[in-house]
Amino acid sequence: MAVLTTSNLTMQFGAQRALADVSIEVPSGVTGLVGANGAGKTTLMSIALGLRDQTQGAIRVLGLDPRQDGATLRAMVGYGPERNVLPEDMPAFDFVKHLAEIRGMPRNEARSRASDVLWLVGLGEERFRALGTMSTGQRQRVKLAQSIAADPSFVLLDEPTDGLDPVQRDEMLALIRQISEEFSIDVMLSSHLLEEVERVCDNIVALDAGVLVASGPLDELVGDEDGLTVELVAIDDRPDAVVQTLERLRGRGVEVELVDDTLHLRGTDRNALVDEVRDAIAASEARVRRIVNRRRTLEDLFDRNAS
Amino acid sequence: MNTAEIFDRGYRKFEGERSGVFGAVRSLAWHTMRSILGLGRKARHKIFPVIVILIAFLPAVIFIGIAALFPGNIFGDEARPEYWELAQSSGFAILLFCAMVVPEALVRDRRDGMLGLYLSTPLTKATYLGGKVLAVMATLVIVTVGPALLLLTATTLESQGPNGIFDWVKTAGQIFLAGAGISAVFAAVAFAASSLTDRRAFASVATALIFIGSPLIVGALIDGADMSQNLRVFDVISMAFEFSPRVFGDMSVDLQDISDTQVFVADGAWTALGAAVVWLRYRRLGAA
């Protein structure tokens, strides 16, 4: 069953259209909601939680209509907001326990679950520390902990890696993956960092200024494409080597494009392309950094949409 | 022999029954009450509530203390304060409580992001506000009902209370009704002021200004400009405290020109006005 489906979902704020005719079907697993700031990611999450009413179209989350069954739905859904502002003087344990109770856990259950999830996210030793004394990374973990404390079926995480350094980001993404795989909790995370979404998600919903750019399994949207990517190194004593390589390849009838010292070669016969590249580089005495199979990235999806 | 068991701790599925919206409101109200009274918080958060509660209970405690030290009805019935007078005598404490406590209960959630989180749970804006009202009312009732109830208990134990169980229950009911009425008016006005600003200090000052300003303005219009006594209905403090004697079939000396109906309608209007301001404000607030 799809976790979330929308049909022609439109959200209008005055003259500004935040979402325009978005129709998607999000299956189980980790789904990345990607797009630049202002793409409509938070608006889609708000509508999915029943916190805003869409202007047009329909949405169903876990089979429920958020407008009609908001309270029932929100008991089954966890949410980690983008804002990093939390009650300064409240200990992390009290914060997580309180929200677990609000989401319907009996008091004793909420207490033990608060402790367990804080251990799970790596804050076991820090759980009685006031939120105001915690770092951004620790606060992000607390937000994740509160979102899963009440055993939700589905978790919406708004920019869960915002403000984290690369190491913390890796740890957070690993936690999100663990939540989905070990505890069978479906996750939708929003991010404007395409690379991290490619690393952790099973499915993608890409938005650009409220318009759906692409949606579907990550494997289908990104991955190997026909052709090669050849990164060359510009060197001072042979300044024309890169251009000569390009021209030589074109002279041989290879479909090739040069972007920032990187050649993008298209063609189905990869072995033949490798031979052509080898000969062209040898002739022009260019220096190679790496030769890899051409990959379609999320960035390509947005570039294609923009063009 | 010790039979210790080790349970597998760690994240697990929850198979039990969830408490739903009712449980969420109850949990929110309890959490807010604890926060208001400083329970589970540092000692400095407890100082103010303790002082206010002491001020509120002081007249009743003094009377009961004197009555206990000097047995017998030495002061006569006239010396004993009326139940409704106790709510009025703790007026300053109630005003302080409202000005400090309601902004704490409402403004804080908007400032520290809790409102957005609450609304991502089974709570809606209406049930969220319901939980907050419940918490503030329950806390205010401690100072509006508590002293009179203490006096009723003490006089009952001294065999000087109401005659018979029917009168006793009636008196207790009147005490609760009077306290709840005063609390409702005060809470509604304080909620309205607190909903209009995201700064707790501004909300406290605004609440105090409404409570202190309305009797000053109305007094100036009646005494200074010689206008109708009926303008007293716009004096929120007088109307709130006059609710109490009217419930007991009595009235304050300086409000004899105002009928019971006018008092009850005025209190109802102030409460409704406060509630409307809060609802309009929260209806427009974005949740996430």
Residues 6 or more apart whose Cβ sits within 8 Å of residue B271? B184, B185, B188
Cβ–Cβ below 8 Å for A103 and B24: yes
Q: What is the pLDDT of residue B5?
A: 60
d(CA A179, CA A175): 6
By C-alpha distance, the chain A residue nearest B10 is A116
Q: Judge contact between B182 and B241, C-beta under 8 A.
A: yes
Sheet holding A262-266, edge to edge: A255-259, A262-266, A223-233, A287-296
Nearest Cβ partner of A51 from B24, B113, B119?
Answer: B119
pLDDT digits (tens, 9 = 90+) for A126-165: 899 999 999 999 999 999 999 999 999 999 999 999 888 8
What share of chain B has pLDDT > 90, as a percent? 39
By C-alpha distance, the chain B residue nearest A84 is B113
ipTM for the predicted complex comes to 0.83
Find chain B residues with C-beta within 8 A of A146's C-beta: 117
pLDDT at B288 over 60: no
Q: What is the mean pLDDT of residues B129-156?
A: 90
C-alpha dihedral (A247, A248, A254, A255), degrees to nearest 10: -10
Q: How confident is the model at residue B7 (pLDDT cuts 50, 70, 90)?
A: low
B77 vs A222, more confident: A222
pLDDT at A189 over 90: yes
User: Which residues 184-203 in chain B show a CB within 8 A of chain A?
Assistant: none
pLDDT at A105 over 90: yes
A106 vs A226, more confident: A106
Find chain A residues with C-beta within 8 A of B119's C-beta: 49, 51
Q: What is the pLDDT of residue B277?
A: 94
Q: How confident is the model at residue A116 (pLDDT cuts 50, 70, 90)?
A: very high
d(CA B204, CA B189): 11
Q: How confident is the model at residue A3 (pLDDT cuts 50, 70, 90)?
A: very high
pLDDT at A216 over 70: yes
Tally the residues of chain B. Answer: 288
A75 at B interface, C-beta within 8 A = yes
Chain B contact probe: residue of A16, A76, A84, A102 with most B CBs at under 10 A: A102
Q: What is the mean pLDDT of residues A257-282?
A: 87
CA distance to partner chain B, nearest, from residue A199 (Å): 24
Burial of B14 (0-12, 13-18, 19+ CB in 10 A): middle
Cβ–Cβ below 8 Å for B27 and A148: no
User: Mean pLDDT over all residues of chain B?
Assistant: 86
pLDDT at B6 over 60: no
Q: Tokens 């799809």 belong to which residue?
A: A2
Burial B198-235 (b: 16+ CB within 10 A, else e): eebeebbebbbebbeebbeebeebbeeeeeeeeebbbb
Nearest Cβ partner of B14 from A51, A98, A105?
Answer: A105
Helices (H) and strands (E) in chain B, counts: 12, 0
Q: How confident is the model at residue B287 (pLDDT cuts 50, 70, 90)?
A: low
Burial A1-26 (b: 16+ CB within 10 A, else e): eebbbbeebbbeeeeebbbbebebeb
User: Mean pLDDT over all residues of chain A?
Assistant: 89
CA distance to partner chain A, nearest, from residue B20 (Å): 5
Q: How confident is the model at residue A206 (pLDDT cuts 50, 70, 90)?
A: very high
pLDDT digits (tens, 9 = 90+) for B225-237: 878 888 889 999 9
B173 at A interface, C-beta within 8 A = no
Task: Report chain A's terminal Cα–Cα distance, integer Å.
Answer: 35
Residue spans of beta strands (DSSP E) within chain A: 4-13, 16-26, 30-34, 56-61, 77-80, 154-158, 186-191, 203-208, 211-217, 223-233, 255-259, 262-266, 287-296
Q: In Å, what is the CA distance from B223 to each residue of A277, A280, B216, B266?
A: 100, 102, 10, 20
Q: What is the mean pLDDT of residues A55-67?
A: 94
Q: Judge contact between A272 and A258, C-beta under 8 A.
A: no
Q: How confident is the model at residue A11 (pLDDT cuts 50, 70, 90)?
A: very high
Find chain A residues with C-beta within 8 A of B46's C-beta: none
pLDDT digits (tens, 9 = 90+) for B193-236: 999 988 888 999 999 899 889 889 998 998 888 788 888 899 99
Nearest Cβ partner of A102 from B14, B42, B123?
Answer: B123
Q: What is the pLDDT of residue B192?
A: 93
d(CA A127, CA B154): 46
Q: What is the mean pLDDT of residues A182-196?
A: 89
Other beta carbons less than 10 A from residue A65's beta carbon: 13
Find chain A residues with C-beta within 8 A of B114's C-beta: 86-87
What share of chain B has pLDDT > 70, as a percent? 93
Cβ–Cβ below 8 Å for A81 and B119: no
Q: How confident is the model at residue B78 (pLDDT cuts 50, 70, 90)?
A: low
User: Which residues 124-153 in chain B show a CB within 8 A of chain A?
Assistant: 124, 127
Phi, psi (degrees; rounded to nearest 5) at A3: -75, -40
CA distance to partner chain B, nearest, from residue A86 (Å): 5
Q: What is the pLDDT of residue B136?
A: 92
Q: What is the mean pLDDT of residues A232-245?
A: 86
pTM of the predicted structure, to 2 decimals: 0.83
**Pairing of the two strands A287-296 and A223-233:** antiparallel
Task: Report chain B's terminal Cα–Cα distance, integer Å.
Answer: 56
Find chain A residues with C-beta within 8 A of B117's C-beta: 79, 81, 99, 146
d(CA A144, CA A138): 10
* Amino acid letter, A163: G
d(CA A256, CA A273): 10
Find chain A residues with C-beta within 8 A of B16's C-beta: 106, 109
Q: Judge contact between A99 and A176, C-beta under 8 A.
A: no
d(CA B39, CA B220): 42
Q: What is the pLDDT of residue B4?
A: 65
**Domains of chain A, earliest start first:** 4-218 (3.40.50.300), 223-306 (3.30.70.100)
B117 at A interface, C-beta within 8 A = yes
Q: Judge contact between B175 and B145, C-beta under 8 A.
A: yes
Q: What is the pLDDT of residue A300?
A: 74
How far from chain centre, in Å, is Cα A99?
25
Chain A contact probe: residue of B7, B8, B9, B11 with most A CBs at under 10 A: B11
Q: Tokens 């520290």 belong to which residue?
A: B112
